[in-house]
Amino acid sequence: MTGRIVITRSLTAAVMEEAQRLPGELVVLGEAPPERSALLDAVANASAILSQLTERIDDEVLAAAGQGLRIVANGAAGVDNVDLEAAARRGVVVSNTPGVLDDATADLALALILATTRRVVEADRFIRGGSSWIWGPQEWIGLQLSAGATLGIVGLGRIGMAVARRAHAFGAGIVATGSRATGAEAAALGVEAVTLDELFARADIVTLHCPLTAETEGMVDTSRLASMRRGSYLINTGRGPLVDEEALADALDSGHVAGAGLDVHEHEPRVNERLRGSDRVVLLPHIGSAGAATRDAMGRLAVRNIAEVLAGRDPVTPVR
């Protein structure tokens, strides 16, 4: 008999309507991230969990669900919040939602690149502050992406490639690391495959699109920031812990790094106060996938993965 299907956070109306057709008792834990105890209680006898990046799905949660749990459908492209090894030991399928959020996240990355390098948010705050001003030929000068700036893409996967297409349209030079950096599409966009060290040394703007793993956590540290060109920019729409934010604050204070655009944060949802206080940092509340169509598509894909597994078939987008 099919057990309960636990949805850890309320999703869009279209997705919730689709979820109602899943076989089993639907349990929705609310709008806010559930308390740990509430999550552990709710998943008892669950056959499926539709989780979000705000929930840590570890061995304790999997054990609380019991032997009837068949799938954890994570509503994100990343799965760093899910203990994949524990799921594998228990025979639980893990799925994610890759592909459907590529364009929305790439749009947001480009928005951060432009807002940071052209000082859009800083200038907006200046105007709203009521200071007197007059146009001047040396005022508010920033880096111009379309004038041959070099964009370094760390992680040229699906999202990174979508960023490369947009940056190419703006006329930027592109260097990249990642699985697709030597492929035909990258070559057509003029992407040059380089090592990580070379990328940080050459790029005017570095944008992060790699997954969070034990190897990548804290990869942008004091040493890596020091290797960047003076006056360069850092953009992060991947995962917050890729960046040592205290090291970034030091690099901004010294002027070595000219600016940063962060959609994600090292200790999310807490925001580094030094970065919050800097006019040269654009800070967003993790909205990379927050296009209306994209959030619907992500939720629908997660629901479809659950439906497939409960019907005895493979998920559409298995993690492993």
DSSP 221: -
Q: Is 286 a catalytic residue?
A: yes
Residue 91's contacts (CB-CB under 8 Å, 6 or more residues apart) are none
Contact of 243 with 263, CB cutoff 8 Å? no
Catalytic residue from among 158, 286, 300, 304: 286
Distance CA 302, CA 299 (A): 5
Write out the two tokens for 215: 């190897």
Asked if 70 and 90 count as a contact pair (C-beta separation under 8 A), the reply is no
- 239 part of the active site: yes
**Which listed residue (165, 217, 268, 274) is catalytic?**
268
Q: Based on the number of CB atoms within 10 Å of its own CB, is 92 exposed (0-12), middle (13-18) or buried (19 or more)?
A: buried
Helix (H, G, I), strand (E, B) or coil at 270: strand
Chain-centroid distance, C-alpha 293: 17
Concerning whether 267 is annotated as a catalytic residue, the answer is no
Q: Check 180, 224, 239, 265 and give the catalytic one.
A: 239
Nearest partner of 179 among 166, 160, 207, 200, judged by Cα? 160
List the catalytic residues. Answer: 239, 268, 286
